[in-house]
Amino acid sequence: MSQDRQYWDEKLETQSRAEWDALKLGLLQTHLHHAYANSPYYRTSFDAAGVHPDQLKTLDDLRRFPTIDKKILRERQEAAPLLGDLAAVPEREVVYVSASSGSTGVPTVSPFTQQDFDDWIDYEARQFWSSGLRPHDRYAHSLNFSLFIGGPCVLGAQKLGALTIHAGTVPSERLLAILKQFQATAIWTTPSYAWYLGETAQKEGIDPKTELAVRRIFVAGEPGGSIPETRARIEALWGAEVYDYYGLSDIFGSCAGMCEQKNGLHWAEDHILVEVIDPETGEHVPYGGRGEMVLTTLKKRARPLIRFRTGDIVSFTDEPCACGRTSQRLLGVHGRRDDMLIIRGVNIFPSDVEAIVRKDHDFSGEYRLVVDRVDHLDRLTIEAEHDATFRGNSTELAERLKDKVKALTGVGAHVVILDPDTLPRATHKAKRVEDRRGQVWTR
Ligand SMILES: [Zn+2]
């Protein structure tokens, strides 16, 4: 693979929007037939809804088919262990399974045939290539390898020709030692961990910008990677470029990633069909609007996912990217449907607050949202740390944050300014919201 070629698969990646749609329609028709013929669940559910794969003549016809969600995956897996009856191949064809970390209930299993797995790894290579990773790079993969769908993504970097370091999740001192010894040029972790790791390095007297060689940081798992202010601060800390990736335990370790333009995440459009819907009405939301992401696999034979409601609130565009790639781009994951707080009828996401406190350098960047109910009314309290260098008036700082949140979201909040290092630092997925309203009602 020549280092200076621009695309992994030029013909595919730069085809017209009409060609993308034609490609997806053909794949979708084949995939629906496969699901209907081989998965007991889909046959029953399509029959019950009065729909048949033959009726799908356009991509829009997909909306007539029933949706599924995580709860259904879990129930069908319990009804038909090991793989559940959404599976559409016999177990002997399955060569790899991942399992979701599942904070509630039994983890759901995501099976791959050898072809599914090879398709996925080729896609990861394409995505890494679009983010500028090249065969001369030394790539340290510091995600969990234990059943986690993010683990095998390292094979995409390997396929691309990079020297890969299967670092895994190790204590930060150990990881820093690995980065230093190998002079790794690229790494993948979560945004909050990238920040934490950079700060830990500084505390140990290592300047990530000069003593480490990391120049590309891939991040996933939290909204932070698509918030420009968060990315900018991690980039400044490391002297590196940060690329946001999006993955889903039930499909691929990453389904989308930023190219070097860093203007949204190019979607794996030949593998996964996207719909964005209003979570309440189920109506399609036009490009640019926020809604729940619903995904349909187009090739994954082991377990097709047809209209899987992810719970992620997202927005998309199909406008051309300056890099020349024509695929749809994920503009951002604004939060989880479950994280979306409704305060006196108005929507607010933790990421809205994050964008403000990470842009304003009088704040440390750490924050938490606490919601409770006082006299039957919702009350939002934002706890935000001031930066260690801040010497101003805390009351004025609180007022400033309150005004900015009000201007951005329309929500009036009570703000508490905390000293630096008061809030627990996230070494994993940051806990940003504490909703105490349920406790009030059950009291
Ligand atoms: Zn691009």
CA of 250 to the centre of ligand 1 (A): 25
- Residues pairing with 219 in the sheet: 189, 244
Distance 265 CA to ligand 1 centre (A): 8
Length of the chain, in residues: 443
What pLDDT, on a 0 to 100 scale, did the predictor assign at position 441?
40
What does the pLDDT look like over 262-281, one tens digit per residue?
999 999 999 999 999 988 88
SS3 196: helix
High-pLDDT (> 70) share of the chain, %? 95
Confidence bin at 26 (pLDDT 50/70/90): very high
- Can you say whether the dihedral through the CA atoms of 181, 183, 188, 193 is positive or negative? positive
Of 100-114, 321-335, 350-364, 389-403, which range is least confident? Answer: 100-114
Sheet with strand 241-246: strands edge to edge: 163-165, 138-141, 186-189, 216-219, 241-246, 256-258, 265-267, 329-336, 308-317, 291-297, 272-277
pLDDT score recorded for residue 428: 46
Q: What is the pLDDT of residue 158?
A: 98
Residue 438 has pLDDT above 70, yes or no: no
pLDDT of residue 1: 58
Q: How far is the CA of 353 from the centre of ligand 1 (A)?
A: 27
CA of 263 to the centre of ligand 1 (A): 7
pLDDT of residue 334: 77
Closest to 169 measured CA to CA, from 191, 151, 196, 182: 151
Residue 351 pLDDT class (50, 70, 90 cuts): confident
Place of tokens 């006299």: 375
| 316 neighbors 274 (Cβ within 8 angstroms) | yes
Centre of ligand 1 from the C-alpha of residue 264, in Å: 8
Tokens of 181: 């010894």
Domains assigned to the chain? 1-337 (3.40.50.12780), 341-442 (3.30.300.30)
Q: How far apart (Å, rounded) are the C-alpha atoms in residues 198 and 234?
A: 8
Separation of 160 CA from ligand 1 center, angstroms?
18
Cα–Cα distance for residue pair 345/308, rounded to 1 Å: 27
**411-432 pLDDT, tens digit each:** 899 999 999 988 877 654 457 8
Alpha-carbon distance of 290 to 333, in angstroms, equals: 9
CB 49 within 8 Å of CB 25: no
Q: Using pLDDT thresholds of 50, 70 and 90, give the confidence band for residue 442.
A: very low
- Cα–Cα distance measured from residue 278 to residue 249, given in angstroms and rounded to the nearest whole number: 23
What pLDDT score was predicted for residue 344? 77
Look at residue 128 in the predicted model and tell me its pLDDT.
Answer: 98
Is residue 126 within 8 Å of 9, Cβ to Cβ? Answer: yes
Structure confidence at residue 279 (pLDDT): 86
393 pLDDT exceeds 80?
yes
Average pLDDT over every residue of 106-119:
94
Distance 381 CA to ligand 1 centre (A): 38
Instruction: For residue range 41-72, list pLDDT tens digits in order.
Output: 999 999 999 999 999 999 999 999 999 998 89
Residue 11 CB-density burial (10 A; 0-12 exposed, 13-18 middle, 19+ buried): exposed
Distance 227 CA to ligand 1 centre (A): 17
Ligand 1 centre and the CA of 379: distance in Å?
A: 41
For residue 328, report the distance from its CA to the centre of ligand 1, in Å.
Answer: 10
**What pLDDT sits at residue 391?**
93
pLDDT tens digits for 327-343? Answer: 999 998 877 777 777 78
For residue 348, what pLDDT is reported? 82
Average pLDDT taken over every residue of the chain: 91
When pLDDT is averaged across residues 22-41 and rounded to a whole number, the result is 98
Section 180-201 average pLDDT: 94
* Distance from the alpha carbon of residue 323 to the mean position of ligand 1, in angstroms: 4
CB 329 within 8 A of CB 304: no
Cα of 256 vs centre of ligand 1, distance in Å, is 11
Q: What is the mean pLDDT of residues 251-267?
A: 96
Averaging pLDDT over each range in 240-244, 353-357, 376-380, 426-430, which range is the top one?
Answer: 240-244
Rounded CA separation 70/101 (Å): 13
HSE-CB for 364 with a 13 A CA cutoff: 22
The pLDDT confidence band at residue 440, using thresholds 50, 70 and 90, is very low
Identify the pLDDT of residue 430. Answer: 55
Question: What's the 297 CA to ligand 1 centre distance in angstroms?
Answer: 22
Inform me whether the pLDDT recorded for 81 exceeds 80.
Answer: yes
